[in-house]
Amino acid sequence: MRPGWVRGEISNLRAQASGHIYFSLKDAGAQLSCVLFRGDAARQTVKLRDGLQLLVYGELSLYEARGSYQLIVRAVIDHGAGQLQQELEKLKQRLAAEGLFAPENKKPVPFLPRTVGFITSPTGAAVQDFIRILARRGWTGRLVVLPAKVQGEGAAAEMISMLQTAEALGVFDLLVIGRGGGSIEDLWAFNEEPLVRAVAACGVPIISAVGHEIDFTLCDFAADVRAETPSGAAELISSNYLNCTQRLVQLGETLTAFVDDELARATEKLAHARSRLRLLSPASAIEHNHLRLDDLGNRLRAALRASVQIRRESLAGGRRRLESASPERRVQLESHRLLALWKRLESASPASVLKRGYVIVRDAEGRPVNRAAAVAPGQPLINEFHDGKVKVRAE
């Protein structure tokens, strides 16, 4: 079901811990259950209470668990704003009857606009978001911010003046008019009849980007295209450029791959032809014979070296056998063996152990002391080093 506006008095207001708000709207003859979900509730500026007269915007939904209808509320304005909404609806119907919003009067937005004018407040967050999105998406066109008030007295007149100036300059492919979100009073300048007529009559294509997704102004209907937000307008302007850029990158990669493949195949064919030509030339036959001659020479030299090596190894074997049978060799081996045994005996002697830094502790009778528990305090002891003895007393 299409969304719409409903006016009534709040009753049975309940704010849940989840952040969702439930209430009923009633008048003299009926009442309607409503729910304001947490995300939408956070954007509202009206403090809800029982008995408050409201004008709400939303769509009707069926809650199947109870088999009842409820209104999903997206925006809330007080009764005073509701009066403005009534005036807005009347003006909208009158201008629509004049054909001011007719689809056949809409101008197409350029596919790739090169120069874009943005009629907005130069200090607002909307223009910063607009520029940031264009920069992030790599848009390379020219953006001109046309400064104008977007709220309060004189805002519509300034925006009309900027529209006329931009059209007179003749340098813009596309114009954007808009601002960030706000209450209906904040956005009212975009509903004033002179500005709406100026937007509809402008010869340059115009995108209206006012407020948030749920905000609608008469400029949205008079413009050639409506964007939900200024950020949405930036995405709309740069989307075709981004698609073309990505397509160009893909085509460039495809072309590079095709050229590389063709070049590789041509190089392979050229190398094959060069090899065949080399095999069929007289110079190739001479080179082949040179190679064969070199190979035969290498084989001959290798055979001679192998024969000489065999003779040398045979002679060396006989010499080793002769040396192993010599008595001198046996005497040397036995001498080395005897020396090794002497060294092992020497290393195992007590004197050798003492030379390595060890000490033999003896009692007064000269008996070795091998346990700490066997020593009494004050007992005289003798420490035997490799170069002498020292008398000590235990503490």
Contact 390, 360 (CB under 8 A): no
pLDDT at 80: 55
Long-range contacts of 49-52 (CB under 8 A, 24+ apart): 49/10, 49/13, 50/10, 50/11, 50/12, 50/13, 51/9, 51/10, 51/11, 52/9, 52/10, 52/78
Going from the N-terminus, what domains does the chain have, and what CATH number goes with each? 4-90 (2.40.50.140), 102-241 (3.40.50.261), 350-393 (no CATH)
pLDDT band at 361 (very low <50, low <70, confident <90, very high): confident
pLDDT at 83: 59
Please write the tens of the pLDDT for every residue from 268-324: 998 888 888 777 777 777 777 778 888 888 998 999 999 889 989 888 888 888 777
Picking from 219, 231, 243, 251, the residue whose alpha carbon sits closest to that of residue 125 is 231
Residue 225 has pLDDT above 60, yes or no: yes
First-residue to last-residue Cα distance in the chain = 106
Please write the tens of the pLDDT for every residue from 179-222: 988 766 778 899 999 999 999 999 999 999 997 777 788 999 99
Please write the tens of the pLDDT for every residue from 141-175: 999 999 999 988 899 999 999 999 999 999 999 99
Prediction pTM value: 0.49
pLDDT at 79: 67
pLDDT band at 330 (very low <50, low <70, confident <90, very high): confident
Amino acid at 161: S
Contact 36, 24 (CB under 8 A): no
